[in-house]
A = this chain, B = another copy of it.
Amino acid sequence: MSRSKAEMRAIFDKVSNWGRWGKDDERGTLNYLTSQKTAVAAQLVKTGQTISCARNFPVHPGPENPTPALHHIVMGGDDPCAHGIPGMEVSLDFIGIAYHGLASSHIDALCHVFVDGKMYNGFPATEVRSTGARRNSIMAARDGICGRGVLLDIPRLRGASYVDPKQPVTPQELSDAETTQDVRVQEGDVLLVSVGRDAFREKHPPMPGDGPLLAGLSPDCIPWLFDRRIAVLGSDAVHDSTPSPDPIEDWTIPVHMCGLVAMGLHLLDNLYLADLEKACAKARRWEFLLMVAPLRVEKGTGSPVNPIAVL
C-alpha cells in the first residue's frame, strides 16, 4: 500500500523506542536480548552444524560494488623473510573496506542513519564527527549478539525461488511464513528475512549497465517488527526495496529509518542466506542459535561481520 510522507512520519513516531531504556541508552532493541534469552537460545542447537550467513569479502568490482574492498598481500611466499627477523618466514596481508552499501555483509550501528538530523534516542547527527561517532557506535554490540535466530523464508512461502523486487514483502506474509514454517518470532530474536537475492540474480544476471535491483520489505512491515520486539533484523538484501517500486517522498529507506532511528533496531545487510535456507528446509526447522560478532571499532558506524547460525 502506497504511503504518504505524513503516514510514514506517523509510523516512525508510533514505533519509537526513544526513552524506553533511559535517555542515555545506545543499545536500542539489543536490550530485548537478555542473557536469559541467550541461554535459552543455546538449547536450540541440535546437530551442531555451523553455517556462515556472510558473503565473501567484496573485493571484486561490480554493479552493486562500485567501491570494492581492498585485500593486499603485504608479504608473500616469494619474500617471507623480508621483515629481517631470522628464523621467521611469514605471509602478511592488509584488508580495507567501506562496508556500507550493497556488497558487504555487515551490521549497521544505530548511528548509521539519521532522520531530520537525529539518530536513535534523539542524539544529534552531529555527534557523528569527522573523527568518529560519539553516540550509538557499534560498541553497543561489542560483546557480541548471541540469540535465537529465526529465518522467515519468503520465496518458499511464495512457492518461488525469489521475491519479485516489484512485490515487496508484506506483514501478512511475515505472519504466514511463521505459520507454514511452524515458528513464531519472539521478543529478543534475531530475525532473518530472506528475499532470495542470490537466486534472483542467478535467474536475472544484471545486464551491462543495470543498476541495483533488490527486493525488500514493504514499509507496512515496520509496525509488525516493532510489535514482535525483535532485537536485530537481518536480510540477504538491504531490507528496503532498492530501488523502491513505490517511493515515498522524503523516506527513501523507510525500514532503515524507522528501524535504526526510531526503534533502535540494529540491522544486518547483505547476508548470504541460501545455505541456511537449504539447511533449515532440510531439517524442517527455522530456528537456531545465531551469533554475530562486530569488530570493536570504538567510534564506528558499523562493522563487516560473518554471522554464524548453529543448527
Q: Does A13 sit at the interface, judged by CB under 8 A? A: no
From B43, B54, B80, contact of A125 by CB (8 A): B80
- Which A residues between 51 and 68 are near B, CB-CB below 8 angstroms? 51-52, 54-57, 59, 61, 66-68
List the B side residues contacting A38 at CB < 8 Å: 45, 48-50, 310
Q: What is the interface residue range for chain A against chain B? A: 35 or more
Q: Which secondary structure characterizes the binding site on chain A? A: loop
A6 within 8 A of B: no
Contact in complex: A253, B88 (CB < 8 Å):
yes
Q: Are B114 and A91 in contact (CB under 8 A)?
A: yes
Q: A77-B127, A95-B297, A300-B95 are in contact. Are A35 and B47 (CB under 8 A)?
A: yes
Closest Cβ of chain B to A282, distance in Å, is 14
Report whether A91 and B133 are in contact in the complex, using a CB–CB cutoff of 8 Å: yes
User: Given A80-B114, A291-B293, A306-B294, does the pair A49, B35 have CB atoms closer than 8 Å?
Assistant: yes
Which among B41, B68, B77, B114 is the interface contact of A129 at CB below 8 angstroms? B77
Once A79-B130, A87-B251 are accepted as A-B contacts, the answer to whether A57 and B143 lie under 8 Å apart by CB is no
Say whether, besides A39-B45, A306-B294, A112 and B130 are in contact (CB < 8 Å): no
A73 to chain B, nearest CB (A): 5
A77-B126, A210-B208, A252-B87 known; A143 vs B42 contact (CB < 8 Å): no
Q: Within the oligomer, what is the number of copies of this chain?
A: 4
| Contacting pair B96 A114 (CB below 8 A) | no
Given A76-B128, A310-B38, are A291 and B114 also a contact pair (CB < 8 Å)? no
| Identity of the chain B residue whose Cβ is nearest the Cβ of A114 in the assembled complex | B89
* Contact present for B54 and A296 (CB under 8 Å): yes
User: Are the CB atoms of B87 and A112 closer together than 8 Å?
Assistant: no
CB-CB contacts below 8 Å: A202-227 with B: 207-211
B293 pairs with A308, CB closer than 8 A: yes
In the complex, A294 Cα to B307 Cα: how many Å?
Answer: 10
The CA-CA distance from A250 to B94 in the complex, in Å, is 27
A34 beta carbon closer than 8 Å to chain B: yes
Say whether A117 faces chain B, with CB atoms less than 8 Å apart.
Answer: yes
Decide yes or no whether A70 CB sits under 8 A from chain B: yes
Docked Cα-Cα span, A80 to B132, in Å, equals 12
In the complex, are the beta carbons of A128 and B291 less than 8 A apart? no
Residue of B nearest to A94 (CB): B98
Whether B46 pairs with A39 at a CB distance below 8 angstroms is: yes
A249 to chain B, nearest CB (A): 7
CB closest chain-B residue, reference A249: B87
Query: Could you jot down 24 A-B contacts, CB within 8 Å?
Result: A35-B47, A35-B50, A38-B50, A39-B46, A42-B45, A42-B310, A50-B144, A52-B142, A57-B295, A76-B76, A77-B78, A77-B124, A77-B128, A80-B125, A82-B129, A85-B252, A86-B250, A89-B115, A89-B125, A90-B113, A92-B100, A95-B96, A95-B300, A95-B303
Q: Which 6 A-B pairs have the closest CB atoms?
A: A209-B209, A208-B209, A76-B130, A39-B48, A38-B48, A96-B96
